[in-house]
């Protein structure tokens, strides 16, 4: 198996819009708000309306009022953000480097999502063009759906095989499988047994998977786009959206069969797993996205992958450059911390719709530790938005790449039953844990985009038997705490120096004082160096040294 070829990478556009819009799940309108709910909104805590956030929408992008953000900074003008960027921070607060303006209210997510989309398009994949419905024609003959997109005098044609389960009934939920069959690399029986139809999407009908050329149909439609300024994941996500356009053009009627346009899923594995993730992120008509073993450039963090041994995982330095616009390569190496987005935000763009991602620990190239951290952070975002049960992940091993393992069957069944069959009474939090991720997001809301670090300050030297040095120790952090922070203290030799077992840095403070106790003894043991260290969850360990001078003396006598 050629990992470098099968494990590929990817990433899209962004003010206040009329909130009363027709949704695929019905007309969603805010009608009233209790004082308690209002208090939650005002405090900026996770918000959930009287009616839950929609499961899906009936338009490609609900945030068209925010689209077209331009004049984004060049890399030399971007701030350095070592941890993961804050998805709830306003773009203006990021670009002006104040980092002090954000909102976690769900009513603001539409704008956040489109600002993230603008960053991903501008710095990673290039523009995903919008299409007028008048440019779309669609037809269905025998078992083939044909969708044509005409721009000017040029036409791009998508032909996709459709399969209907024999035991299903109208209207059929639908899965779009990317490049490997109507259900991707997932077990077809889990779909067919539930009466879910499938469509096979071939990305090569838009652009080839390698060596794209201006002669490709996609670039003929858009002469302003080139393989240099547009990555394949932008083009392929565009193609999936055009397929969905065709379904809407036909009102879901394919011959005598009806497609349920409220229940569309998209899935793919490896490079197609990235394709599925970009497609789901950029088209809100997709109710469920399953990104299977997508690796670097998919459900992984570019920043985290850069921390791994060089060449061991897919990062900006060694991905397939044709999948991304050329300018993304300026963020290779240590410049990755200047990238204003990362892929926990690509994951989060799917919210509030459903997303399930998987990894495979048997393949180092897939960057599974990164997938775990990115998934844990994405869960935090979904939880903040009040839709934690719509995101799940499973990073396991014991199976070949893109071979579906049995232990993921219950996970997938949950997502299909709830988000394809509409069994909304189901609720589950799905995800393998074990990843330490807090240090990647601890800065959110602090206006200090750096990894959390502890600092220690103590006297450089003291003398044996000095007793208690009141308040002469200082432990601090690089920023302010939003809640009381417990710090563990210790020394390398408690017979020479002791400190409190724990101290607390109060909420809103950056440091606190502590005492050091230096006991005495009658031993003549010379000057001693003792280490003092501090630890706290999600922080790097801090340590300093102190010299304890020996005050004992001895008289040398000689008897002859």
**Active site positions, annotated:** 270, 401
Contact of 272 with 299, CB cutoff 8 Å: no
The terminus-to-terminus CA distance of the chain in angstroms comes to: 86
Cα-to-chain-centroid distance, residue 156: 32
Contact of 176 with 183, CB cutoff 8 Å: no
Tokens (6 digits) for 534 = 């501090």
DSSP 336: G
| Residue from 300, 292, 299, 297 nearest 317 by CA | 297
Burial 161-192 (b: 16+ CB within 10 A, else e): bbbbbeebeebbbbbbbbbbbbbbbbebebbb
Q: Is 382 helix (H, G, I), strand (E, B) or coil?
A: helix
How many angstroms separate the CA atoms of 457 and 240, rounded? 57
Report the alpha-carbon angle 355-359-365, nearest 5. 135
533 Rama class: left (phi>0) / alpha (psi -120 to 50) / beta: beta
Burial 333-356 (b: 16+ CB within 10 A, else e): eeebbbbbbbbbbbbbbbbbbbbb
DSSP 308: S
How many angstroms separate the CA atoms of 326 and 332, rounded? 11
Contact of 42 with 248, CB cutoff 8 Å: no
Q: How many CB atoms lie within 10 A of CB 51?
A: 12
How many angstroms separate the CA atoms of 407 and 361, rounded? 14
**Parallel/antiparallel/unpaired status of strands 172-178 and 197-201:** parallel
Q: How many CB atoms lie within 10 A of CB 14?
A: 27
């Amino acid at each position: 198996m050629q990992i470098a070829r099968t494990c590929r990478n990817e990433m899209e556009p962004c003010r206040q819009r009329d909130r009363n819009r027709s949704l695929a799940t019905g007309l969603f309108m805010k009608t009233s708000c209790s004082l308690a709910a209002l208090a939650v909104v005002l405090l900026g805590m996770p918000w959930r309306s009287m009616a839950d956030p929609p499961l899906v929408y009936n338009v490609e992008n609900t945030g068209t009022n925010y689209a077209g953000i331009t004049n984004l900074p060049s890399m030399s003008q971007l701030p350095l953000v070592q941890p993961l960027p804050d998805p709830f921070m306003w773009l203006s607060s990021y670009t002006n480097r104040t980092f002090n303006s954000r909102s976690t209210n769900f009513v603001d997510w539409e704008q956040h999502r489109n600002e993230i989309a603008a960053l991903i398009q501008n710095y990673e994949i290039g523009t995903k063009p919008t299409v007028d419905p008048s440019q779309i024609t669609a037809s269905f003959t025998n078992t083939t759906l044909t969708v044509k997109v005409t721009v000017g005098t040029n036409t791009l044609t998508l032909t996709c095989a459709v399969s209907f389960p024999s035991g299903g009934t109208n209207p059929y939920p639908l899965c779009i499988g990317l490049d490997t069959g109507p259900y991707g690399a997932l077990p077809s029986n889990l779909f067919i047994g539930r009466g879910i139809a499938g469509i096979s999407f071939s990305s090569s009908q838009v652009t080839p998977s390698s060596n794209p050329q201006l002669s490709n149909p996609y670039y003929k439609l858009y002469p302003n786009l080139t393989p240099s300024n547009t990555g394949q994941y932008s083009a392929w996500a565009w193609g999936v959206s055009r397929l969905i356009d065709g379904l809407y053009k036909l009102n879901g009627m394919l011959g005598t069969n009806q497609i349920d346009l409220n229940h569309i899923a998209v899935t793919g594995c490896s490079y197609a797993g990235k394709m599925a993730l970009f497609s789901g992120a950029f088209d809100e008509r997709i109710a469920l996205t399953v990104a299977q073993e997508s690796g670097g450039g998919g459900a992984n963090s570019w920043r985290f992958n850069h921390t791994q041994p060089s060449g061991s995982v897919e990062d900006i330095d060694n991905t397939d450059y044709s999948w991304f616009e050329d300018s993304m390569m300026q963020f290779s190496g240590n410049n990755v911390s200047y990238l204003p987005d990362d892929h926990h935000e690509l994951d989060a763009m799917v919210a509030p719709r459903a997303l399930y991602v998987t990894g495979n620990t048997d393949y180092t190239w897939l960057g599974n530790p990164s997938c775990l951290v990115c998934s844990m952070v994405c869960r935090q975002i979904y939880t903040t938005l009040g839709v934690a049960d719509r995101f799940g992940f499973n990073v396991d091993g014991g199976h070949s790449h893109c071979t579906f393992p049995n232990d993921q069957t219950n996970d997938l069944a949950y997502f299909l039953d709830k988000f394809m069959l509409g069994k909304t009474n189901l609720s589950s939090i799905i995800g393998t844990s074990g990843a330490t991720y807090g240090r990647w997001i601890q800065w959110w809301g602090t206006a200090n985009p750096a990894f959390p670090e502890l600092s220690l300050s103590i006297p450089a030297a003291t003398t044996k038997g000095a007793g208690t040095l009141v308040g002469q120790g200082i432990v601090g952090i690089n920023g302010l705490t939003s809640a009381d922070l417990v710090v563990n203290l210790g020394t390398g030799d408690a017979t020479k120096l002791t400190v409190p077992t724990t101290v607390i840095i109060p909420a809103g403070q950056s440091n606190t004082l502590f005492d050091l106790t230096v006991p005495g003894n009658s031993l003549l043991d010379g000057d001693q160096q003792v280490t003092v260290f501090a630890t706290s969850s999600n922080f790097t360990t801090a340590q300093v040294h102190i010299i304890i001078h020996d005050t004992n003396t001895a008289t040398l006598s000689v008897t002859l």
